[in-house]
Structure formats: C-alpha cells, structure tokens
C-alpha cells in the first residue's frame, strides 16, 4: 500500500538529481556569457528567474522525496514491529522468564530501523548519487569530451588500491 509513495519519492529524487546538477552548471555558463558580453542584463534577468525557479523546484523535490521516503519507511517499520510483536506475544509465559520484554522490544526497534534503512533509505541514496554522477559527467562531457575521459581514467586504479587496503 505504500509503494505509490515510494515511487513518487524516487521520481522526485530522480528529478532533483538530474535537473539540479545540470541547472547548477548552467549558472556558470550564464555568468560566462555576461562576462564575455554575449548576454545583456535584460536577457539575464528572465533567464535567472527561470534558473531560480528550477532551483526552487529541485529543493522542493528533494525535501518532499526525503519526507515521503521517511513516511514510507516509518509505516513499513511499524507494520514489521506489529507483526513480530504479535508473534512474540503468542509465546508461553516461560519464554518471558528467559527473555525480558524490554530486551525484546529494544531489539525489535533496532532491527526494524535497520531493515527500513536498508530497504528504503539506501536505495534512495544510491539513486540520488548515481544520477548526480551521471548528470555531472554529462556536464563535463558537454564542456570537453576529453576532460571526462581524463577525469575518470584514475578510477579503476583507485578502486584496486582501495580493495587492497580495505
């Protein structure tokens, strides 16, 4: 029942990740146009209003996505805790002599939070970071394709070195 909220959250995060970085790079290009004299101040005003509107939409999308992800994770965590607690409460009373209810509740809360983090927050963070990398890579490629290849060339070497040390 919460999948539609999570899908909307992923869509909003994808919008922010893809549009936000590209919009940020376009501001630098606009300022270069002002510096070179290719754009007048009147033209700049309308373009800046559009750019700031995009920034506002990106901030709204990011914060709304975080809220929806947290809401979905919270609902899922509560459902998991309720079902597990129902199962625990079906145990014999001698079970609670060995395992105190406070310890069970603390472990249940901790495990439910970990599960929600891995199922909802981690995929959203991976989506955000992957799209930021793609968006920034496209921006660097648009500037100069050779610059992109020069910047990603050391990555395999760094990955091998990290693998060795970790």
> Do residues 32 and 49 touch, judged by C-beta distance below 8 A?
no
Residue keyed to tokens 């014999």: 92
Tens-digit pLDDT profile for the chain (166 aa)?
689 999 999 999 999 998 988 888 777 777 776 767 777 777 778 788 888 899 999 999 999 999 999 999 999 999 999 999 888 888 888 888 888 888 888 999 999 999 999 999 999 999 999 999 998 888 888 888 999 999 899 999 999 999 999 8
Cα 131 from Cα 124, distance rounded (Å): 11
Cα 131 from Cα 133, distance rounded (Å): 5
Q: Token digits for 42?
A: 């009147």
């Amino acid at each position: 029942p919460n999948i539609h909220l999570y899908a909307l959250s992923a869509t909003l995060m994808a919008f922010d990740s893809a549009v936000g970085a590209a919009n940020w790079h376009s501001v630098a290009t606009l300022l270069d146009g002002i510096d070179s004299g290719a754009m007048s101040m009147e033209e700049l005003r309308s373009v800046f209003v559009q750019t700031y509107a995009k920034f506002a939409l990106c901030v709204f999308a990011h914060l709304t996505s975080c809220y929806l992800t947290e809401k979905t994770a919270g609902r899922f965590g509560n459902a998991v805790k309720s079902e597990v607690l129902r199962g625990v409460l079906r145990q014999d009373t001698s079970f609670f002599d060995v395992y105190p209810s406070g310890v069970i509740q603390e472990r249940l809360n901790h495990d439910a939070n970990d599960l929600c983090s891995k199922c909802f927050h981690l995929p959203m963070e991976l989506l955000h970071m992957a799209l930021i990398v793609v968006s920034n890579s496209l921006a660097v490629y648009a500037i100069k394709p050779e610059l992109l290849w020069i910047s990603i060339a050391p990555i395999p070497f760094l990955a091998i070195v990290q693998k060795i040390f970790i």
